[in-house]
Amino acid sequence: MASKVWYAGNRSYSPATSYVADMLEVFEAAELDKLIKPNDVVAIKLHCGEWNNTAYLRPVYARTLADKIKSLGGRPFVTDTTTLNYNPYPARVTELDMRFTAERNGYTSEALGCPFIVADGWMGTDDVHIDLPEGYILKEAFIAKAVAHADVLITLTHFKGHPMGVIGGALKNLGIGAQSKRGKYNVHLGGHPAYGMGATTEFHPERCKGKNECPTWKLCRDCCPYGLFNVKDDTIEWKREKCVGCLAHLGATVGCGVMDIPREPLEGLHAAIADACMATVKAVGKDKVGFINMGIDVSPYCDCVMYADMPLVPHIGIFASKDPVAIDMACVDKVTESEGTPGSAAEDHDVAGSGAKKFENAAALIHGLSEQAQINTGAIIGLGSKEYELIKVKPSATKYYGFTEDTRPGGARFKKLFSKEDPFPRDRFNGQGFKREEKIDFEKIR
């Protein structure tokens, strides 16, 4: 059966069609407000952005949602989880680092009007174990405790590409983002005998120039948090049997020909993301999880890289649904039908035309990875439906915009104050207020 996906369009041309107002429109149209009862603790799960990433969602969206949840009687908190050491210089691996990064990106209690909570705790080991017999590849998952224990979960997702996942949507926001650190090892297939990074990476130590000739050898020595690399004078050793798949070496040993990026861990990851999303929904309760996808700044790579490239396509719009599979499918379809952004990676890879698959050609780390594998897996395991009905929301005239602290028009609000102290200096220059030329030549400056 087709799932409903509510959609607020991709243009913003008035206060009523601001993306903030659009988000509230689809939130209510999809009846996500009805998930929340008075005193419910409501997790707003988002990606707070890596150090120097600039495409992550501005905090105003989470703030607005938190205010809305409070108006419904709920107790919101905004949350994200610690990461693996997925590059040599990660900035969110511990709660300490993550708070520093999140606050630098604007995710403070002051900005949000509610706490920002690292859902899996100091080390990323605060979690809840979920059995997953229905999983396609995972048979268990470890859900970040603050998410698993929430009464309601609103998944606020920046929809974009992802180098490993190919797409970063609602499925990935929970399938990676709601997993604890050990949950992320599980989803990345760390230690998997057939698809793990240790089992599948092609390793050519004979190509290593070693300490004698490689100017960056120290990074290879120091990139792995488990110390699995030993750089020698003219070669390198790797204890691959102990590899847990954290990916930290990708920014060090890959690129010189000594190690490749194997395909199997990435394809396995796609299936595991859908499984782990399913586990998150099970932990909170199927009728207690809602999804909002913000299809803006659709960068080729995820918010977990330390930069953000030009969007692959112009904004695709704001979506909401109770089905994570359907909402991601709708977003992928919108990106496919969109023209690519001139000068973007879509153009670089010759997929800028409407109808071309942008993500698997311009975002995926390895050519040929499917941009639908997460979605297909989600449909296979019964998490949701690839069939969807896209319902356009009509913006209401004044419902969701305005300065909520005082909703009266400016004249009514400031008449009394301005009568006490008029900011316009009427006592100067015969009431004109300022010293200026009476006439100027516009032609000269046109």
Binding site for ligand SF4 (CB under 6 A): 197, 208-209, 214, 216-217, 220, 223-224, 226, 228, 231, 236, 243-249, 253, 256, 258
Tokens for 145?
């405790």
Nearest approach in angstroms of CB 263 to ligand SF4 is 16
| Helices marked H in 306-409 | 324-337, 345-348, 358-362, 373-380
Strands (E), 81-184: 116-118, 127-131, 140-144, 152-158, 160-162, 166-168
Nearest approach in angstroms of CB 265 to ligand SF4 is 9
Tokens for 265?
């861990």
Nearest to 201 by CA among 177, 234, 224: 224
Give backbone dihedrals phi and psi of 366, rounded to 5 degrees, phi first: -120, 130
- Is residue 327 within 8 Å of 367, Cβ to Cβ? no
Give dist(CA 190, CA 197) in Å, integer: 7
Return the SS3 of 60.
helix
Nearest to 258 by CA among 266, 250, 248: 250
Q: Which is nearer to ligand SF4, 37 or 218 (CB)?
A: 218
Nearest approach in angstroms of CB 245 to ligand SF4 is 5
Nearest approach in angstroms of CB 309 to ligand SF4 is 25
Q: Which is nearer to ligand SF4, 132 or 246 (CB)?
A: 246
* Pairing mode of beta strands 116-118, 75-80: parallel
Tokens for 431?
């009431």
Nearest approach in angstroms of CB 209 to ligand SF4 is 4
Give dist(CA 406, CA 126) in Å, integer: 41
Nearest approach in angstroms of CB 373 to ligand SF4 is 21
